[in-house]
Structure 1
């Protein structure tokens, strides 16, 4: 497949019609000319399988059963180049793609969501989220997926994880939680997850905060992983 919008393009490098087209992709986006030129060209290569969240891809989002179809590719190796101020820099790292679709964005009693994706240094991946409202007795609704280094998912029920905001940052006149405690007792995981850069507000049709986070052990303060945080409704 090939998807594009002006100078942005996502195209598969897989030619076999019955293969996973997300195994090898090229992502390109550029803007400007000369010294003002900025953008990137990245090759994405999957080193693990697609992951279906929830029940065979159905991810419940509230206690009343509302949900979405949700699949991730959290095993991409990323290599390519980034152009900033007209200068080209070679880059490499890890990538995570989410695809989610639903007939309902939020329930009427839900104010927003806090969503984490983490690459842990021991090879595990973690997706965890809470929707503020819509849980049992009017509380928050939580869910997640604990992913082994081989790509085996374990769905996490609402009572199997905890997300606790610890500190906020003032961003465009809003108080946004940018330091969290994240607990998954079944995986013996107790993390402090913090955003090193607070100014990541996206003033789009659905305004949201989105940016890099670093995960550390709550007791040891040792770095255990990196990832991404997305928050709405603040």
Structure 2
């Protein structure tokens, strides 16, 4: 009996050799490349459009319909359609992933700006700030929690769906799923599913850490939960300093 039959694919040290072609680390690097490229393109498209819609209030139906369409769109079916148009390769997979990532980024950016307190915007206008200054210095900082939540949602969806790249002849963790099913090596399929899930959790934790760094504690609400160290609390039954006790 061979070593690969005795040892599950996920725990075989030979499959974790860095730099080796066909190893799990090489699949992870390729998978992250597809994910990062798709997210970067989606951000360049969706964030400016969401900022414009949220700031001006115009074309709000675009953001709403984009969110609904994103939830109903079958990614694998879209990839199959794009393959018939562009052939195998990176283009159909990348277009499908970008289309998948745009709706949550667009809708969260729009919703974040529309949720900004109008009193803060009016105060900025009263101070003589221009529209661009209001957008950059007031609305975007206050909308960051929702904007980043949309980015986190898009990242999770893309990293989980980037496995479709294997169906168009590309690499990534999807190779473990496709090749495992083709070869009836189900331990390879399980390894691919587990690594994708762990990778999604790690990406979400990193995004949460970035959100804590860039979002003001006052906006995120963390400042309200921090105990105050400047003013000690006084128990109702404890006499205040300098006050004579009764009797």
> What is the TM-score with the length of structure 1 in the denominator?
0.20
The structure whose RCO (Cα within 8 Å, separation 6+) is larger is: 2
Q: Which has the larger radius of gyration?
A: 2
**Greater share of helix residues, 1 or 2?**
2
